[in-house]
């Protein structure tokens, strides 16, 4: 998704949604071997946004400060 697409979507939302919480979510199968089985959804709040001009990316982050101390972030 390009930032322009995200901006267009956000700008199309009604003002009544301004207090909604933004989360980063994912879906998956409880048992990946059974496609007829249960599906789960895991949401994590967006805690920070990183703009990576070099790679032309806007990164929505859900890690906590504690999580970040455990990860090698390279040249960020």
Give yes or no for residue 59 having a pLDDT over 60.
Answer: yes
In a domain, 30, yes or no: yes
Domain membership of residue 41 as a residue range: 21-69
pTM of the model: 0.63
Tokens read off for 50? 């990183």
Residues with Cβ within 8 Å of residue 6, at least 6 apart in sequence: 58
In a domain, 6, yes or no: no
Give residue-wise pLDDT tens across range 20-38. Answer: 998 988 899 999 899 789 9
pLDDT band with cut points at 50, 70 and 90 for residue 19: very high
Contact by Cβ (8 Å): 49, 57: no
How many domains, the chain?
1
Q: Which residues partner with 29 through β-bridges?
A: 39
Distance CA(25)–CA(69), nearest Å, equals 22
Q: Is the dihedral of CA 58, 60, 64, 66 positive or negative?
A: negative
């Amino acid at each position: 998704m390009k930032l322009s697409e995200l901006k267009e979507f956000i700008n199309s939302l009604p003002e009544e949604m301004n207090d909604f919480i933004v989360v980063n979510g994912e879906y998956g199968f409880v048992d990946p071997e059974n496609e007829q089985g249960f599906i789960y959804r895991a949401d994590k709040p967006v805690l920070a946004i990183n703009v990576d001009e070099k790679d032309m990316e806007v990164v929505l982050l859900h890690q906590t400060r504690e999580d970040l101390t455990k990860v090698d972030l390279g040249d960020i």
